[in-house]
Amino acid sequence: MSKHTLKNSHTRPIKFHRLSKKIVRQFCLISLITSALWGGLSFTLLYFVEDEYIEREVKKEAHYLQLNYAQTGTWVSPRMSHMQLVFTPNDLPKDIHAQYIANPKGREFFGEQGRHYHIFALQADATPLLVAQVSDMLIIRPYANGALRLMLILSAVLVVLTFFVSWLLGRKTALPLKKLTDLVHGVEPDKVPAKFAAQFPNNEIGLLAQTLEDTMVNINKAITREKCFTRDVSHELRTPIAIIKNAVEVYRTTHPDDASNPVISRISQACTQMEQTVVTLLTLARQEHTDADKHNVKLLPLIEQAVIDHSHLINNKPIDVKVHDNCDISVMAQPGMVKVLLDNIIGNAFQYTTQGQVSIEVRGMTLIVADTGPGIEQSISANITDAFVKGEQSTGYGFGLSIVKRLCEHQNWLFKTVNNQGTEIHITLTQ
Strands (E), 205-306: 295-298
Structure confidence at residue 2 (pLDDT) = 45
What percent of the chain has pLDDT above 90?
A: 15
Q: What is the pLDDT of residues 348-371, one digit of tens each?
A: 888 888 899 999 999 989 999 999
Confidence of residue 164 (pLDDT cuts 50, 70, 90): confident
pLDDT of 393 above 60:
no
Whole-angstrom distance, CA of residue 201 vs CA of residue 64:
75
> Are 119 and 95 contacting, i.e. CB atoms less than 8 angstroms apart?
no
CATH of domain 188-288: 1.10.287
The CATH homologous superfamily to which domain 290-428 belongs is: Histidine kinase-like ATPase, C-terminal domain (3.30.565.10)
C-beta separation of 297 from 367 below 8 A: no
> Across residues 280-290, what is the average pLDDT?
62
Tell me the pLDDT tens digit for each residue of 231-276: 777 677 778 888 888 888 888 888 877 756 778 877 877 787 677 6
Query: What's the whole-number average pLDDT of the chain?
Result: 81
In angstroms, the CA 166 to CA 110 distance is: 45
In this structure, which amino acid lies at residue 215? Answer: T
SS3 (DSSP) at 329: coil
Residue extents of the structural domains in the chain: 1-79+134-186, 188-288, 290-428
> How far, rounded to the nearest angstrom, does the alpha carbon of residue 194 sit from its chain's CA centroid?
33
What local confidence, expressed as pLDDT, does residue 138 receive?
79
SS3 readout for 127-150 = CCEEEEECHHHCCCHHHHHHHHHH
Low-confidence winner among 187-201, 302-316, 327-341 (lowest mean pLDDT): 187-201
Is the pLDDT at 38 greater than 50, yes or no? yes
Statement: residue 21 has pLDDT above 80: no
